Structures are given as structure tokens and as C-alpha cells.
């Protein structure tokens, strides 16, 4: 059975029950107004009326085909010949392609489950790239992928609230466009298909299953994703095989084997470079550009920093409450009106000379001022089992992984604003959550404490985690990615990820100790979420000779200047009160100071 929906604008009849709201239809119409080539959406469903996701997916695709000239939609039954040809067994499934009969000319980009929430971003970007008939991969990634000789079907497991998942899946989608016929990219909604998630041991997202044996957790740099897709090996292992130290692949690529000048990298001249696209970095970009300084913002992960994984922000002026992702969208849209913001670009080295040179995996930037707005990473418990069970029940991101713990028992470790906010989020998702706190009172805001009491969330006071307990299963490896969901290396590692241990497993509980009585007990839990503070991402600044405070944060004056002229810092990396509003203010201050100092260099003697 097959149903085709035409693109006729006449179908926009009065009384149509649109799935996409009017504002959304207007935005999508503007967004897709200049699609150069046709895009075909193929939707497969099993006819189960009780499965709401079937209707969501089909109606969403139908709406797109009605409002966008270049998009057409076809519906297929799950028992159809077309479903068998494409090996579709789960409902709903949506393909984005060109519609070409020749598989070498069509792209196999598959969404298993309704592409709602954050997956919707990946769907929109996939439509764009398919219409362009271009992968958008970097030259390095294309060169690596050209060596692929065997078929690959990378599966990226995601959840609707994970801001890192779209980026990881788009690595796979770009590979599918670059090598049609060899690569099929699949985005799996782990919340809709728990049995499939359980089969592959998905406990944290994004979880990438390259094949039955090779897997990774976290958002990875594009080039590393492609390398592991081609070789089906851990990139760290490959580097050791070639006598290289993991974590330095980008540096070696940029400078050659013997410290030669970078080859094949674009050289970009600008006035100011901002490292980090969180609130501080975006604010610095706005104020820098408005002062007349051409500004580029670089982030190794995604825009927004830790705000992206904050379920609700209740103390930002102008908003009674706003979802963290929504606030990021507002800040990002404002910053992009002025400055260039580049995501997924890792800085490997900074040199200070007449101009400041910033070397990344994609370009060399020459600038007059540099702002470190690199934020802070989540602090680990350093308890036995933490690394072993990361991605198997241990998580540092309630927004990313909370969906998988609905109806399950979870422990939230911590007593600050982040811990209480995440506990309330988990409760709202349907998890049975308890807070484990080492003190007899919270540090968090009273408003959050009041909300906790209203929700009836249990608190176990004066207690620390001695060990995370679980069952041993097949090993899982952390990935290399961005801001909270990346690898194992201390320099490039994620906020919150722990070093991998030999075995791994599924969390079954925790061993705790009461700090007043020393009594030890074991508590049953299916998941453990950790929110016990932050560690500043100040390593690169320290390598330059920037002075740090005792806690590792960057030492700055009231103008956000460091001890090195032309180097500034703003936001959480400077310590102090870690709030979005203070980060925004410090970013603006740093940019204004940079502008003033380029006009009147305070480090030069008069008359020079």
C-alpha cells in the first residue's frame, strides 16, 4: 500500500488540521524557500492507531510537503515491498533522500522514530544537505572517507532532550551523502524503542553503534567520527599504533610531522577570537562586533555550553522561566546577527606574537585579542565504578539521558542549584528520584528547595557515595565529543565523563556512607546522575602562561584582563558566581576592554 501526497498549494484548504503550528509553517517556509533540488520523504508505519508517533511522523512529513514546493512525501505500509527493499521493520521510520531509483544517486538517511524534539534539528539539516546534493564534510573528513570500501550503517541513538545528539547524527548523515551506496545513516529515538536500546546497551546518548562490536558514547569531532567509521577502531588505539599521543592528532595534522607550517588550512584574519559559545562567549561576540571589532566565536561542541542541558532557567532577567535550549536559541540568534559562530571546531594551539595565532582543526585565525570563555566541566565523584558504568547508568546530563529512566529509580548526587534543577526535571519525566547530599542542608536557592519539597522528592542527608554497583556486561567505550558528552582524555574530555575502566555494566545501586555515623549501606538504583560542582576549562590558558587561581579558574581583573596583554577571560572559567547573567555581563566587559586596549594599549609606554 502506498499513498502519495502532492505538493499542490491548493491542498492548503480552509479547515485543514495542520500538525505544524502556523508560526512554525511560516518559519519553515522562509527557511526552505531556496532549496535548489527536490527532496523526497518516505514514511513507513505499521497502521497501529495506538502508536501516536506514527501519526506525528506522517502528519509532519505531509505538512512539509504541502508548504514546501521542493519537498514531496510518500507513505508506505510496514509490510509493503518497499519496506522489505529498504529493510524497514520498525514504525515509524522516515527516510530523507533524492528519490532516485539508482542507490548510487540516492542517499539513505533514516530516522527510526518520530524526529521530534532535538532530532527535528537533524531532520531540517538533512533536508538542506540532501537538497544541496553536498555533504558539507571537511576536506580532511572527505579524504579519510574516500578510503572506505565496505558498507557501513552507523546508528546514532538519541533522545528528544539531548542537544548533542543532532551533531553526532549529522556526522553520519554527511557520510551517507558523501558516499551514497556505501553508507546509510540511522538516527534511533532510544525512548521510542527501548528493546533496541537495551540490545545495544544504550544508557547515555548520543550512543553511536558503528557495527555490532564497535561503539562510542558522546559527541565526537567530525574527523574522528569518520576515522572510526572507516576503520571500526578506536581513534586513540590507531594513534598509539602510529606512535602518536592521543589528544594531539589535530595539532600534528595542522603543523605537519616536523613542526612545519600548516598546510591546507584556511588563514582567517579577524580582530577578536572568542573561545567558547556559551552565554559569556556569545555576549562577548555581540559587544565586540558592536564596538567595531570583527569577531569569530569558536566552540569544539555546540552553541550554548551548559545552558543547553539546563531544563528550566528561572532566574534570568526578563524571563519568569525559560527552557535552557530556548534561551540558547535567543542568545545564539542575537549573536549570529553580528558575529561568525563556528561549532565543532577544536582549538589545538595558541601562539602569541605580533598577532595572536589560533590553530584549529579547520583553520588558522590571526587576531588582535583573544577571549577565553571556555566554561567549566562537571566534576566527577571519583568513586569506584563511575567510569565503568558511564553510559550504563551513570550520567552527568539529566536533559540528555533522563528520558531513559522514566519509571525507574535514580539517585541525584549533589546539593546545589544544578542538582536540584535536574532532580525536579527527572521527577517531571516520571523517574523515582532521590537526592544524595553530603551535608545536612542545601546550597541551592530557596525557590528550588521549596519546589523540591512540593514535589515530595526524598533526600538522604549527610551521605557520600563510596561505590557505584552493577552487573558486568560487554564493554562500552566513551566517545570524543563536546561539552558534557565527550571522551576520556583530560584535555579534550567532556565535563563529567570518567576514565574508562576494564569492565562495564549496568547500574544496580550504590554503596553509601553516612559521614556522621560512618554507617555503610547499599541502596538500589537503576541510574545515578552526578551534579557536584565544576572544574574550570583553563588548561589552554595555563599553557600560555595565564595565571590561575587556586581552584584552577583564570585570574582576571575587573576588566576581565588576564596577566598577559590581549588575553581576556569571561564566564564560568573565571570562577566566582557561576550564573548565566554574570557570564553574560563578564563577556560584555571583556569585549569592551579588548576594544579599549586595541585603541590604547595599556602595556605600551607612552610615545612608542
pLDDT per residue as tens digits for the range 554-575: 999 999 999 999 999 999 999 9
Tell me: the pLDDT tens digits for 225-252? 999 999 999 887 776 675 555 554 443 3
The Cα 169–Cα 155 span in angstroms is 8
Confidence of residue 16 (pLDDT cuts 50, 70, 90): confident
Query: Do you find a cis peptide bond into 466, omega within 30 degrees of 0?
Result: no
Packing angle of the helix pair 119-132, 165-178 (nearest 10 deg): 20
The predicted model gives 95-110 an average pLDDT of 89
- Whether residue 62 has pLDDT greater than 90: yes
Strands 363-367 and 266-269, by their bridges, are parallel
- Greater confidence, 260 or 271? 271
Task: Say which of 401, 422, 492, 597 is annotated catalytic.
Answer: 401
pLDDT band at 589 (very low <50, low <70, confident <90, very high): very high
Q: What is the pLDDT of residue 426?
A: 96
pLDDT at 531 over 80: yes
* 580-603 mean pLDDT: 96
In this predicted structure, what is the pLDDT of residue 494? Answer: 37
pLDDT value at position 361?
A: 85
Q: Is 401 a catalytic residue?
A: yes
Give buried/exposed letters for 317-346 (b at 16+ CB in 10 A, else e): eeeeebbbbebbeebbeebeebbebbbbbb
If you average pLDDT over residues 385-412, what whole number do you get?
92
Range of weakest confidence among 393-407, 486-500, 577-591 = 486-500
Mean pLDDT of 285-297: 97
Residue 323's pLDDT is what? Answer: 87
The better pLDDT of the pair 427, 259 is held by 427
pLDDT at residue 477, as a whole number: 45
pLDDT for residue 211: 95
If pLDDT is split at 50, 70 and 90, which confidence band does 356 have? Answer: very high
Cα-based distances in Å from 580 to 7, 271, 570, 585:
44, 26, 11, 9
pLDDT on residue 478? 45
Residue 505 corresponds to which cell in the numbers above?
555494566
State yes or no: pLDDT of 483 exceeds 90: no
Q: Mean pLDDT across the stretch 440-467?
A: 96
Q: How far is CA 124 from the centre of its chain?
A: 17
pTM: 0.78
Residue 471 C-alpha cell reads as 552487573
Q: From the candidates 162, 400, 422, 597, which is the catalytic residue? A: 400
Does the pLDDT at position 502 exceed 90?
no
Query: Average pLDDT, whole number, for the chain?
Result: 88
Span of 183-187, 341-345, 522-526 with lowest mean pLDDT: 341-345
Residue 358 has pLDDT above 50, yes or no: yes
What pLDDT, on the 0 to 100 scale, is given for residue 260? 34
pLDDT at 608 over 70: no
SS3 category, 298: strand
Question: Residue 436: CA atoms inside 13 Å, Cβ hemisphere, count?
Answer: 29
pLDDT confidence of residue 453: 96
pLDDT at 243: 57
pLDDT, tens digit (0-9, with 9 covering 90-100), for 195-228: 999 999 998 999 999 999 999 999 998 989 999 9
Q: Is 397 a catalytic residue?
A: yes
- Contacts within 8 Å (CB) and 24+ apart, 118-121: 118/158, 118/159, 118/160, 118/161, 118/162, 118/163, 118/165, 118/166, 118/325, 119/158, 119/160, 119/165, 119/166, 119/169, 119/187, 119/189, 121/166
The whole-number pLDDT of residue 444 equals 93
Does residue 6 or residue 291 have the better pLDDT?
291
367 annotated active-site? no
The per-residue pLDDT for 81 is: 96
Q: Which of 41-45, 394-398, 443-447, 486-490 has the lowest mean pLDDT?
A: 486-490
- What number is the average pLDDT over the span 93-119? 90
314-318, 345-349, 423-427: the lowest-pLDDT one: 314-318
Which stretch of DSSP H or E encloses residue 585? helix 580-599
Q: Which of 165, 175, 367, 397 is catalytic?
A: 397
pLDDT value, residue 259:
35
Select from 527, 514, 412 the least CA-distant residue to 461: 514
Nearest CA to 228 out of 243, 212, 208, 246 is that of 208
pLDDT value of residue 312 = 85
Mean pLDDT, range 443-459, rounded to an integer = 96
Whole-number pLDDT of residue 545: 97
Q: What is the pLDDT of residue 452?
A: 96
pLDDT for 606: 60
Who has greater pLDDT, 306 or 553? Answer: 553
Amino acid at each position: 500500500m502506498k499513498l502519495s501526497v502532492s505538493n499542490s498549494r491548493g491542498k492548503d484548504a480552509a479547515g485543514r488540521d495542520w500538525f505544524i503550528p502556523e508560526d512554525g509553517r511560516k518559519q519553515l517556509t522562509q527557511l526552505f524557500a531556496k532549496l535548489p533540488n527536490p527532496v523526497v520523504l518516505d514514511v513507513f508505519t505499521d497502521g497501529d492507531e495506538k502508536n501516536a508517533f506514527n501519526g506525528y511522523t506522517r502528519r509532519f512529513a505531509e505538512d512539509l510537503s504541502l508548504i514546501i514546493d521542493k519537498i514531496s512525501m510518500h507513505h508506505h505500509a510496514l509490510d509493503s515491498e518497499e519496506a522489505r527493499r529498504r529493510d524497514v521493520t520498525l514504525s515509524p521510520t522516515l527516510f530523507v533522500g533524492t528519490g532516485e531509483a539508482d542507490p548510487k544517486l540516492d542517499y539513505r538517511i533514516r530516522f527510526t522514530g518520530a524526529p521530534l524534539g532535538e532530532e527535528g534539528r537533524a531532520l531540517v539539516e538533512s533536508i538542506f544537505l540532501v537538497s544541496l546534493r553536498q555533504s558539507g564534510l571537511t576536506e580532511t573528513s572527505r579524504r579519510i572517507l574516500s578510503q572506505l570500501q565496505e558498507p557501513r550503517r552507523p546508528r546514532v541513538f538519541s533522545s528528544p532532550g539531548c542537544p548533542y545528539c543532532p551533531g553526532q547524527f549529522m556526522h553520519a548523515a554527511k557520510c551517507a551523502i558523501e558516499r551514497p551506496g556505501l553508507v546509510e545513516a540511522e538516527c534511533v529515538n532510544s525512548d521510542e524503542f527501548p528493546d533496541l536500546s537495551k540490545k545495544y546497551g544504550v544508557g547515555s546518548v548520543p550512543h553511536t553503534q558503528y557495527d555490532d562490536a564497535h561503539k562510542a558514547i558522546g559527541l565526537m569531532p567530525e574527523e574522528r567520527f569518520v576515522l572510526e567509521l572507516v576503520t571500526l577502531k578506536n581513534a586513540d588505539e590507531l594513534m598509539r599504533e602510529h606512535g602518536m599521543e592521543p589528544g594531539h592528532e589535530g595539532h600534528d595534522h595542522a603543523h605537519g610531522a616536523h613542526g612545519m607550517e600548516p598546510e591546507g588550512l584556511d588563514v582567517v584574519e579577524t580582530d577578536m577570537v572568542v573561545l567558547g559559545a556559551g552565554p559569556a562567549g556569545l555576549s562577548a561576540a555581540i559587544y565586540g562586533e558592536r564596538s567595531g571589532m570583527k569577531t569569530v566565536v569558536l566552540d569544539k561542541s555546540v552553541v550554548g555550553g551548559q545552558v543547553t542541558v539546563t531544563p528550566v532557567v528561572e532566574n534570568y532577567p526578563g524571563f519568569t522561566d525559560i527552557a535552557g535550549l530556548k534561551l540558547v536559541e535567543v542568545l545564539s540568534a542575537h549573536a549570529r546577527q553580528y558575529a561568525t559562530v563556528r561549532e565543532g571546531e577544536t582549538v589545538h594551539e595558541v601562539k602569541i606574537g605580533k598577532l595572536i595565532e589560533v590553530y584549529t582543526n579547520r583553520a588558522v585565525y590571526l587576531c588582535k585579542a583573544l577571549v577565553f570563555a571556555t566554561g567549566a566541566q562537571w566534576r566527577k565523584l571519583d568513586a569506584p565504578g563511575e567510569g565503568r558504568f558511564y553510559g550504563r547508568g551513570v550520567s552527568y546530563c539529566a536533559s540528555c539521558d533522563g528520558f531513559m529512566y522514566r519509571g525507574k529509580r535514580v539517585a541525584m548526587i549533589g546539593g546545589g542549584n544544578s542538582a536540584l534543577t535536574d532532580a525536579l526535571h527527572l521527577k517531571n519525566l516520571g523517574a523515582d528520584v532521590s537526592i544524595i547530599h553530603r551535608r545536612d542542608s542545601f546550597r541551592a536557592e530557596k525557590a528550588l528547595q521549596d519546589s523540591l519539597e512540593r514535589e515530595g522528592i526524598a533526600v538522604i542527608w549527610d551521605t557520600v557515595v563510596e561505590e557505584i554497583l552493577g552487573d558486568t556486561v560487554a564493554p562500552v567505550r566513551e566517545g570524543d565529543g563536546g561539552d558534557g558528552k565527550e571522551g576520556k582524555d583530560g584535555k579534550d574530555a567532556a565535563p563529567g565523563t570518567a576514565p574508562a575502566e576494564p569492565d562495564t555494566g549496568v547500574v544496580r545501586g550504590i554503596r553509601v556512607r553516612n559521614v556522621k555515623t560512618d554507617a555503610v549501606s547499599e541502596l538500589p538504583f537503576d541510574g545515578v546522575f552526578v551534579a557536584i560542582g565544576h572544574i574550570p576549562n583553563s588548561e589552554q590558558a595555563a599553557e600560555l602562561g595565564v595565571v590561575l587561581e587556586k581552584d584552577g579558574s583564570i585570574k582576571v581583573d575587573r576588566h576581565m584582563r588576564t596577566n598577559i596583554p590581549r588575553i581576556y577571560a569571561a564566564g564560568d572559567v573565571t570562577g566566582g558566581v557561576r550564573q548565566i547573567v554574570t557570564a553574560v555581563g563578564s563577556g560584555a566587559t571583556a569585549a569592551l576592554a579588548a576594544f579599549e586596549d586595541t585603541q590604547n594599549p595599556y602595556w605600551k609606554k607612552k610615545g612608542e
